[in-house]
Chains A and B, each alone.
Chain A
Protein backbone atom coordinates (compact mmCIF):
# COMPACT_ATOMS: atom_id res chain seq x y z
CA UNK A 1 0.00 0.00 0.00
CA UNK A 2 1.91 3.05 -1.28
CA UNK A 3 -0.36 5.72 0.25
CA UNK A 4 0.70 9.22 -0.87
CA UNK A 5 3.70 9.34 -3.20
CA UNK A 6 5.62 12.53 -3.96
CA UNK A 7 8.28 13.07 -6.61
CA UNK A 8 10.97 14.26 -6.77
CA UNK A 9 12.43 14.02 -3.26
CA UNK A 10 14.90 16.83 -3.83
CA UNK A 11 15.24 19.58 -6.41
CA UNK A 12 17.40 22.65 -6.91
CA UNK A 13 16.00 25.40 -9.14
CA UNK A 14 17.46 28.62 -10.38
CA UNK A 15 15.49 31.82 -9.91
CA UNK A 16 12.90 32.16 -12.65
CA UNK A 17 12.75 28.48 -13.56
CA UNK A 18 9.53 26.49 -13.37
CA UNK A 19 8.77 22.99 -12.19
CA UNK A 20 5.96 20.65 -11.24
CA UNK A 21 5.88 18.72 -7.99
CA UNK A 22 4.05 15.46 -8.45
CA UNK A 23 1.66 13.89 -5.94
CA UNK A 24 -0.31 10.68 -6.34
CA UNK A 25 -2.41 8.69 -3.90
CA UNK A 26 -3.80 5.19 -4.26
CA UNK A 27 -6.36 5.31 -1.44
CA UNK A 28 -9.20 6.72 -3.57
CA UNK A 29 -9.31 9.82 -1.37
CA UNK A 30 -11.31 12.75 -2.70
CA UNK A 31 -9.60 15.39 -0.57
CA UNK A 32 -6.03 16.40 -1.35
CA UNK A 33 -3.82 19.19 -0.06
CA UNK A 34 -0.50 20.89 -0.62
CA UNK A 35 1.41 22.30 2.34
CA UNK A 36 4.77 23.94 2.70
CA UNK A 37 6.88 23.52 5.81
CA UNK A 38 9.33 26.16 6.90
CA UNK A 39 11.50 25.83 10.04
CA UNK A 40 9.71 26.98 13.18
CA UNK A 41 6.58 27.90 11.22
CA UNK A 42 4.56 24.71 11.14
CA UNK A 43 2.78 23.86 7.90
CA UNK A 44 0.95 26.36 5.71
CA UNK A 45 -1.78 25.34 3.28
CA UNK A 46 -1.08 26.30 -0.33
CA UNK A 47 -3.98 24.74 -2.26
CA UNK A 48 -6.49 22.00 -1.74
CA UNK A 49 -8.96 19.98 -3.77
CA UNK A 50 -12.22 18.34 -2.77
CA UNK A 51 -12.43 16.19 -5.87
CA UNK A 52 -11.44 15.87 -9.52
CA UNK A 53 -11.88 19.18 -11.31
CA UNK A 54 -12.27 21.22 -8.12
CA UNK A 55 -9.45 23.20 -6.49
CA UNK A 56 -9.28 26.12 -4.10
CA UNK A 57 -6.71 28.43 -2.58
CA UNK A 58 -5.33 27.97 0.87
CA UNK A 59 -3.43 30.37 3.07
CA UNK A 60 -0.34 30.94 0.87
CA UNK A 61 -1.27 30.34 -2.82
CA UNK A 62 0.76 33.11 -4.49
CA UNK A 63 3.36 31.80 -6.94
CA UNK A 64 1.74 28.37 -7.25
CA UNK A 65 -0.88 26.65 -9.36
CA UNK A 66 -2.59 23.28 -9.15
CA UNK A 67 -4.81 21.04 -11.21
CA UNK A 68 -6.85 17.95 -10.38
CA UNK A 69 -7.80 16.05 -13.51
CA UNK A 70 -8.05 12.67 -11.75
CA UNK A 71 -8.84 11.50 -8.23
CA UNK A 72 -5.33 10.07 -7.88
CA UNK A 73 -3.12 12.98 -8.95
CA UNK A 74 -2.69 16.50 -7.62
CA UNK A 75 0.38 18.22 -9.12
CA UNK A 76 1.69 21.55 -7.83
CA UNK A 77 3.17 23.94 -10.37
CA UNK A 78 5.75 26.60 -9.52
CA UNK A 79 6.06 29.33 -12.12
CA UNK A 80 9.02 31.73 -12.01
CA UNK A 81 10.65 30.24 -8.92
CA UNK A 82 11.79 32.68 -6.23
CA UNK A 83 14.11 32.16 -3.22
CA UNK A 84 11.06 32.59 -0.94
CA UNK A 85 9.77 29.30 -2.33
CA UNK A 86 12.68 27.40 -0.84
CA UNK A 87 10.87 25.01 1.46
CA UNK A 88 9.78 21.43 2.04
CA UNK A 89 6.52 20.66 0.28
CA UNK A 90 4.09 18.05 1.51
CA UNK A 91 1.12 16.57 -0.25
CA UNK A 92 -1.64 15.06 1.87
CA UNK A 93 -4.99 13.41 1.40
CA UNK A 94 -8.04 12.50 3.44
CA UNK A 95 -10.95 10.19 2.82
CA UNK A 96 -13.84 12.40 3.79
CA UNK A 97 -14.73 16.00 4.51
CA UNK A 98 -15.56 15.50 8.17
CA UNK A 99 -13.60 17.77 10.44
CA UNK A 100 -12.30 14.81 12.46
CA UNK A 101 -10.79 13.13 9.40
CA UNK A 102 -6.97 13.07 9.71
CA UNK A 103 -4.53 13.74 6.90
CA UNK A 104 -2.26 11.15 5.25
CA UNK A 105 1.03 12.72 4.19
CA UNK A 106 3.64 11.95 1.56
CA UNK A 107 7.34 12.05 2.41
CA UNK A 108 7.85 15.51 1.00
CA UNK A 109 9.84 17.32 -1.68
CA UNK A 110 12.75 19.48 -0.54
CA UNK A 111 13.08 22.42 -2.92
CA UNK A 112 15.91 24.93 -3.00
CA UNK A 113 15.74 28.02 -5.20
CA UNK A 114 19.05 29.81 -5.75
Chain B
Protein backbone atom coordinates (compact mmCIF):
# COMPACT_ATOMS: atom_id res chain seq x y z
CA UNK B 1 0.00 0.00 0.00
CA UNK B 2 1.01 3.59 -0.52
CA UNK B 3 1.90 5.74 2.46
CA UNK B 4 3.50 9.09 3.16
CA UNK B 5 5.09 10.20 6.41
CA UNK B 6 5.99 13.70 7.46
CA UNK B 7 7.80 13.12 10.72
CA UNK B 8 7.59 16.69 12.00
CA UNK B 9 4.28 18.32 12.89
CA UNK B 10 5.96 21.70 13.20
CA UNK B 11 9.17 23.25 11.89
CA UNK B 12 10.42 26.60 13.15
CA UNK B 13 13.15 28.50 11.35
CA UNK B 14 14.50 32.03 11.50
CA UNK B 15 14.04 34.28 8.50
CA UNK B 16 17.03 34.08 6.18
CA UNK B 17 18.04 30.62 7.38
CA UNK B 18 17.71 27.51 5.21
CA UNK B 19 14.66 25.34 5.76
CA UNK B 20 13.94 21.65 5.32
CA UNK B 21 10.57 19.94 5.56
CA UNK B 22 10.91 16.16 5.59
CA UNK B 23 8.90 13.55 3.71
CA UNK B 24 9.33 9.79 3.36
CA UNK B 25 7.14 7.53 1.28
CA UNK B 26 6.30 3.93 0.54
CA UNK B 27 4.95 2.72 -2.80
CA UNK B 28 5.03 -0.53 -4.69
CA UNK B 29 5.87 0.95 -8.09
CA UNK B 30 7.68 4.01 -9.36
CA UNK B 31 6.80 7.04 -7.22
CA UNK B 32 5.34 10.29 -8.49
CA UNK B 33 5.95 12.77 -5.68
CA UNK B 34 4.50 16.19 -5.08
CA UNK B 35 4.69 19.04 -2.60
CA UNK B 36 1.74 21.32 -1.94
CA UNK B 37 1.42 24.39 0.28
CA UNK B 38 -1.71 25.54 2.08
CA UNK B 39 -2.20 29.07 3.38
CA UNK B 40 -4.94 29.81 5.95
CA UNK B 41 -8.49 29.37 4.64
CA UNK B 42 -7.22 28.43 1.20
CA UNK B 43 -6.94 25.28 -0.86
CA UNK B 44 -3.67 23.50 -1.51
CA UNK B 45 -1.34 25.00 -4.10
CA UNK B 46 1.07 22.92 -6.16
CA UNK B 47 4.75 23.68 -5.47
CA UNK B 48 6.74 21.05 -7.34
CA UNK B 49 6.83 17.46 -8.47
CA UNK B 50 9.27 14.63 -9.07
CA UNK B 51 8.76 12.12 -11.81
CA UNK B 52 11.98 10.44 -12.96
CA UNK B 53 15.32 11.98 -13.73
CA UNK B 54 17.11 14.65 -11.76
CA UNK B 55 17.19 14.07 -8.03
CA UNK B 56 17.00 17.80 -7.29
CA UNK B 57 13.72 19.32 -8.42
CA UNK B 58 13.14 23.08 -8.57
CA UNK B 59 9.69 24.54 -8.05
CA UNK B 60 7.75 27.71 -7.30
CA UNK B 61 8.76 30.52 -4.91
CA UNK B 62 12.39 29.37 -4.67
CA UNK B 63 11.57 25.95 -3.25
CA UNK B 64 13.34 22.80 -4.30
CA UNK B 65 13.15 19.17 -3.26
CA UNK B 66 15.70 16.43 -3.06
CA UNK B 67 14.70 12.91 -4.07
CA UNK B 68 16.62 10.04 -2.49
CA UNK B 69 15.58 6.62 -3.76
CA UNK B 70 17.59 4.56 -1.27
CA UNK B 71 16.10 6.47 1.68
CA UNK B 72 12.65 6.76 0.00
CA UNK B 73 12.65 10.45 0.87
CA UNK B 74 11.60 13.65 -0.87
CA UNK B 75 12.57 16.52 1.41
CA UNK B 76 11.49 20.07 0.63
CA UNK B 77 14.17 22.74 0.93
CA UNK B 78 14.71 26.44 0.53
CA UNK B 79 18.09 28.19 0.91
CA UNK B 80 16.73 31.30 2.63
CA UNK B 81 13.35 31.30 4.38
CA UNK B 82 10.88 34.19 4.26
CA UNK B 83 8.23 35.04 6.84
CA UNK B 84 5.70 34.69 4.01
CA UNK B 85 6.70 31.01 3.64
CA UNK B 86 4.88 30.27 6.91
CA UNK B 87 2.14 27.80 5.96
CA UNK B 88 1.10 24.15 6.06
CA UNK B 89 3.06 21.89 3.71
CA UNK B 90 1.87 18.55 2.36
CA UNK B 91 3.83 15.83 0.65
CA UNK B 92 1.84 13.52 -1.66
CA UNK B 93 2.55 10.42 -3.75
CA UNK B 94 0.94 8.50 -6.57
CA UNK B 95 1.95 5.30 -8.29
CA UNK B 96 0.68 3.10 -11.08
CA UNK B 97 -0.97 0.63 -8.74
CA UNK B 98 -3.35 3.20 -7.25
CA UNK B 99 -4.09 5.28 -10.31
CA UNK B 100 -6.10 8.38 -9.59
CA UNK B 101 -5.59 8.55 -5.86
CA UNK B 102 -3.04 10.88 -4.36
CA UNK B 103 -1.94 9.79 -0.89
CA UNK B 104 -1.18 12.82 1.25
CA UNK B 105 0.99 13.07 4.32
CA UNK B 106 -0.46 14.61 7.49
CA UNK B 107 1.17 17.97 6.84
CA UNK B 108 3.96 19.99 8.47
CA UNK B 109 3.36 23.46 9.76
CA UNK B 110 6.26 25.76 8.93
CA UNK B 111 6.76 28.91 10.98
CA UNK B 112 9.37 31.39 9.83
CA UNK B 113 10.23 33.77 12.61
CA UNK B 114 11.32 37.35 11.83
Contacts and interface: CB of A to CB of B under 8 A. Distances in A.
A50 B99 CA distance: 11
B87 to A, nearest CB: 14
B42 A107 contact: yes
B100 A97 contact: yes
B44 interface: yes
B45 A105 contact: yes
Interface of B: 4, 9, 32, 34, 36, 41-46, 49, 51, 90, 94-96, 100-107
Nearest to B94: A99
A44 B92 CA distance: 11
Contact of B101 (A42, A50, A59): A59
B85 to A, nearest CB: 19
Given A31-B100, A42-B90, A4 B43 contact: yes
A107 B39 CA distance: 10
Contacts of B4: 42
Contacts of B90: 42-43
Interface of A: 4, 31, 33, 40-45, 48, 50, 56, 58-59, 90, 92, 97, 99-100, 102-108
B44 A42 contact: no
B73 to A, nearest CB: 17
Contact of B43 (A44, A58, A90): A90
B41 to A, nearest CB: 7
B9 A107 contact: no
A32 to B, nearest CB: 10
Given A42-B90, A105-B44, A100 B102 contact: no
Given A43-B44, A50-B100, 7 more contacts: A41-B106, A42-B90, A92-B44, A102-B34, A103-B36, A105-B44, A105-B45
B16 to A, nearest CB: 29
B95 A99 contact: yes
B100 A102 contact: no
